[in-house]
């Protein structure tokens, strides 16, 4: 019957793995959320794999580090790393976590989608949506395009009480920079999160 088919489709969708993209600007607790979710799997005796792009992994010694002090070891990957080829070798894997996923290539995001579709393993990616010029990162663009679930992690503008959705880059004297490399690793001394109104006022880019 029609009802039977609908019920079975719901059951099918419930058990099928999905590609999730948790996105935000900086200081929204992305790494903390990732590490907490991973901890929940570990507590339930489920195997996971954690990844971090080389851009961050080199500086963090292969660790995912949250601002509140939580840490976990992760596999450091460069742009040549093939997620599907590597992950398919593991048995009884229950979830894959990727921090700073904005630095992934388009092809790598598609490999992670294959992990969910063909290996039925959930993949949870965490990353920043746009750079200091308000432009999408390659990995974020592809994740926004093909992820099953898009989850925004929210934080407050550093200049008002609105939601922060963008980030500005600062020089050593705290002046806003409008030019430079797309990827420049830094913390609160280098970046601050702002709403679109203040991003416009500070950069005149939107």
Catalytic residues: 100
Strand 149-152 relative to strand 75-77, pairing: unpaired
* Burial of 159: CB neighbours in 10 Å, binned 0-12, 13-18, 19+: middle
**Distance of alpha carbon 105 from alpha carbon 81, whole angstroms:** 10
Query: Sheet harboring 166-170: ordered strands across?
Result: 176-177, 166-170, 191-194
**Distance of alpha carbon 31 from alpha carbon 37, whole angstroms:** 10
Residues 176 and 168 sit within 8 Å (Cβ to Cβ): yes
Residues 203 and 191 sit within 8 Å (Cβ to Cβ): no
SS3 of 19-50: the string is EEEEEECCCCCHHHHHHHHHHHHHHCCCEEEE
């Amino acid at each position: 019957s029609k009802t039977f088919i609908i019920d079975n489709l719901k059951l099918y969708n419930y058990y099928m793995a999905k590609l999730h993209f948790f996105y935000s600007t900086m200081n929204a607790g992305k790494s903390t959320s990732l590490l907490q979710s991973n901890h929940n799997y570990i507590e339930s005796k489920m195997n996971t794999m954690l990844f971090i792009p080389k851009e961050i992994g080199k500086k963090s010694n292969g660790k995912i580090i949250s601002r509140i002090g939580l840490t976990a070891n992760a596999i450091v990957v460069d742009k040549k790393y093939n997620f599907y080829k590597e992950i398919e070798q593991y048995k009884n894997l229950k979830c894959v976590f990727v921090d700073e996923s904005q630095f992934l290539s388009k092809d790598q995001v598609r490999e992670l989608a294959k992990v969910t579709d063909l290996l039925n393993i959930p993949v949870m990616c965490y990353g920043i949506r746009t750079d200091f010029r308000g432009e999408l990162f390659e990995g974020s663009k592809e994740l926004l395009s093909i992820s099953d679930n898009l989850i925004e992690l929210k934080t407050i503008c550093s200049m008002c009480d609105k939601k922060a959705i963008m980030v500005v880059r600062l020089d050593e004297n705290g002046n806003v920079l409008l030019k430079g490399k797309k990827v420049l690793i830094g913390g609160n001394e280098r970046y601050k999160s702002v709403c679109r109104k203040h991003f416009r006022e500070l950069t005149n880019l939107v």
